[in-house]
Amino acid sequence: MISYNTLVVLSGCALLGVAAGTVGTFALLRGRALVADAVGHAALPGVAVAALIVALVG
C-alpha cells in the first residue's frame, strides 16, 4: 500500500512536472527559453529553504 506521505510527495512532483512542462513549452515557443531557465534557477533556493523549514517544523 502507498502511505499518505508517499501519495502527497508523488502528487506534488506530478503537479510540479506538469506546471514546469507547460511553462517551459510556452517559453520556448515564444523564444524566451533563457528567461525561463533563469527564473527556474532563481526559484531553486526558495524551494530548498521551504523544504528545510518544513523539515524543521514537521
Domain assignment present for 24:
yes
* Residue 4, in any domain of the structure: no
Task: Chunk the chain into consecutive blocks of 10 residues (it has 58) and report each block's average pLDDT, rounded to whole numbers.
Answer: 88 91 82 76 87 88
Instruction: Assess if residue 35 is contained within a domain.
Output: yes
Give the pTM. Answer: 0.52
Query: Cell triple for residue 49?
Result: 529553504
Question: Does any domain span residue 5?
Answer: no
Rounded CA-CA distance 48/58 in Å is: 15
Domain that holds residue 38: 16-57
Asked if the structure places residue 1 within a domain, the reply is no
Residue 10 in domain:
no
The amino acid that residue 8 corresponds to is: V
Encode pLDDT of 19-31 as tens digits: 988 887 887 788 7
Number of structural domains (the chain) is 1
